[in-house]
Amino acid sequence: MASISASPRSVEEIFKDYTARRSALIRALTYDVDEFYSLCDPEKENLCLYGHPNESWEVTLPAEEVPPELPEPALGINFARDGMKRTDWLSLVAVHSDCWLLSVAFYFGARLNRNERKRLFSMINDLPTVFEVVTGRKPTKDKPNMDSGSKSKNSTKRSIDGQMRSNAKLLDESFGEDEDEHSETLCGSCGGNYNADEFWIGCDICERWFHGKCVKITPARAESIKQYKCPSCSTKRGKQ
């Protein structure tokens, strides 16, 4: 069932709860997708996908109490697993997950006033949906290294100090002058927006960008990487 510790009351507290649950669901449907897929056995009873405030996710039975303590996510997601293409099924779960996240946020926000609810939704709406992250769709612009035909995934880019570096680098080193233009760049792991104050690294295979902290790569380690492969691409290559 959906977990709740101390009920968030302010707009900021509710948004923090929302982003934590969202991060958990994104991880379940991307980096932990094989584990998530195996847990959704159609032979089991009605199962739900939960995202918890501590950023963990869980596939389990729905709450037994009626009414539940919090709104419940879509019931029986496991039943449709084998009757659809895997990507279509994951997209469907992602859409239902977005609906559940909004319902939980506005359950907490029911006591907010009109302006506070409007601000809460605006903060939520600034983030890409789970569906957009899972399917790779972007709200506006595409990846920053795709905005020019001369910037392919195998090309090298000149940094501020004039040295040639590969894709494994700080995103803001090569795009610092165009920060506004690339503000819609999304982390392939958590779905968060680009921030010039954070270390980012680009995958040379799929060309997605990631927070260094999300893929456990430090700036020092990135300097020694000739070709960076994100966890997803590394897993795919290993299975081939």
The string of pLDDT tens digits covering residues 75-127 is 999 999 999 999 999 999 999 999 999 999 999 999 899 999 999 999 999 99
Name the CA dihedral angle for 108, 114, 120, 123, rounded to a multiple of 10 degrees. Answer: 170
Contact 87, 116 (CB under 8 A): no
In a domain, 90, yes or no: yes
pTM passes above 0.75: no
117-136 exposure pattern, b = at least 16 Cβ within 10 A, e = fewer: bebbeebbeebbbbbbbbbe
In a domain, 171, yes or no: no
In a domain, 97, yes or no: yes
pLDDT digits (tens, 9 = 90+) for 162-219: 333 344 444 444 444 445 555 667 888 888 887 777 888 988 888 888 888 888 888 8
Q: What is the mean pLDDT of residues 209-238?
A: 83
In a domain, 158, yes or no: no
99 and 189 together in one domain: no
Hey, how many other C-beta atoms are within 10 angstroms of the C-beta on 33? 16
42 and 106 together in one domain: yes
Q: Domain span at residue 201?
A: 185-239
Using alpha carbons, list the distances in angstroms from residue 67 to 32, 43, 50, 64, 137: 31, 27, 17, 9, 35
Q: Which pLDDT belongs to residue 179?
A: 52
Q: How far apart are CA 220 and CA 224, in angstroms?
A: 7
3-class secondary-structure state, position 58: strand
In a domain, 18, yes or no: yes
pLDDT digits (tens, 9 = 90+) for 22-61: 999 999 999 999 999 999 999 998 999 999 999 999 999 9
Q: Which pLDDT belongs to residue 116?
A: 92
15 and 131 together in one domain: yes
User: The domain spanning residue 195 has which CATH number?
Assistant: 3.30.40.10
β-strands 57-60, 48-51: how paired? antiparallel
16 and 131 together in one domain: yes
The last residue of one of the domains, among 135, 165, 195, is 135
161 pLDDT higher than 70: no
Total number of domains constituting the chain: 2
Q: Which pLDDT belongs to residue 191?
A: 81
220 pLDDT higher than 60: yes
Q: Which pLDDT belongs to residue 151?
A: 35
32 and 107 together in one domain: yes
In a domain, 166, yes or no: no
203 and 117 together in one domain: no
The last residue of one of the domains, among 99, 120, 135, is 135
In a domain, 81, yes or no: yes
Going 57 to 63 to 66 to 72, the CA torsion angle's sign is positive
Q: Which pLDDT belongs to residue 162?
A: 33
pLDDT digits (tens, 9 = 90+) for 130-157: 999 999 876 654 444 444 333 333 333 3
The last residue of one of the domains, among 117, 135, 153, is 135
Q: Which pLDDT belongs to residue 65?
A: 80
25 and 106 together in one domain: yes
In a domain, 73, yes or no: yes
Q: Which pLDDT belongs to residue 182?
A: 56
